[in-house]
Amino acid sequence: MSQSMMNNWPMDPAIVILSLGVITFLLLIMTIICVIQLSRLYRRYDRFMRGKDAESLEMIIAELIEEVKELRSQDRSNKDIMKTLTRGVRSSYQKFGMVKYNAFKGMGGNLSFAIALLDMNNTGFILNSVHSREGCYLYIKVVEKGETDIVLGSEEKEALEQALGY
């Protein structure tokens, strides 16, 4: 009964023992690497915890969480303020065009003017001041999206084109 189970295998038992030895050696190397990494991690943890107890660390984390909450609420309020300011800027007069001219040739010089004021949507007005010896007359014409229903004079057209950026 000297027959062993290894004799019935289709391959040489020395190869099986040798391959198991190689696997054991590889597992030993991997274990050493894991122990080295664990010791490095422990040293980093020890350095992190040095001089701090768990309660003070917990307080620091709680303070940081409160600070983050406060910053988030400030961010929300800043965003609301920015929305309000953006709405205000869009409705304010941003575009400007002005033309000075002499309404009556030979009388008084360039004292007449046409001013166009437009918002972001090119809506606003044209103010025309005509100066003469008898007085000063103001005319206002409404501008909707860069156009008017009323016929414009050449100076008013020029002021509107300046405001529109043409």
pTM assigned to the model: 0.50
Closest CA to 116 of 89, 148, 149: 148
The shares of helix, strand and coil residues in the chain, as percent rounded to the nearest 5, are 55, 20, 25
- The pLDDT value given to residue 121: 82
Neighbours of 138 (CB within 10 A): 8
Look at residues 154, 153, 152 and name the one whose alpha carbon lies nearest to residue 143.
152
- Give the ranges where 50-137 is alpha helix by DSSP (H): 54-91
Give the pLDDT confidence score for residue 69 in this predicted structure. 94
Q: How many residues does the chain have?
A: 166
Low-confidence ranges of the chain (pLDDT < 70): 1-3, 6, 51-56, 106-108
Instruction: Report whether 7 contacts 14 (CB < 8 A).
Output: no
For the chain, the domains span 95-164
pLDDT at 1: 45
Residue 98: HSE in the Cβ half-sphere, 13 Å Cα cutoff: 7
pLDDT given at position 108: 62
Residue 142 identity: V
